Structure 1
């Protein structure tokens, strides 16, 4: 089960969206911004399929 989540890129400050896998309670992974292509560490947390916490941090290259 995937959910679309909108947030601001910590590099370019543009609004971006990502599909998050709600079937995994807590996860951390790196994905590139769709606007500026810089890496972002994404950490969503779900409870009963609902997003309860979301963190996005820039990754220094």
Structure 2
């Protein structure tokens, strides 16, 4: 059963906290989703730490991965 996980992130552009839904099978995936506040494209990189917790890294278009 795949269950969506809700996480809060800070937009790298406007700094607003937004809630996003992550699917657990998105691990090691990179994708772009627009900020719900300023509408700028946020680059997401989903990974997992050593304890199995989901890590969500967000970047603006001009930041390096």
Q: TM-score normalized by structure 1?
A: 0.81
Q: Could you list the runs of 5+ residues in structure 1 that have no partner in the other structure?
A: none
Aligned-residue RMSD, C-alpha: 2.0
Please state how far the C-alpha of 1:25 moved relative to its aligned partner: 2.4
Q: How many residues align?
A: 59
Higher helix share: 2
Q: Could you list the runs of 5+ residues in structure 2 that have no partner in the other structure?
A: none
Q: Are 1:17 and 2:19 counterparts?
A: yes
Mapping of 1:26-37 within 5 angstroms? 26-37=28-39
Q: TM-score normalized by structure 2?
A: 0.77
Higher strand share: 1
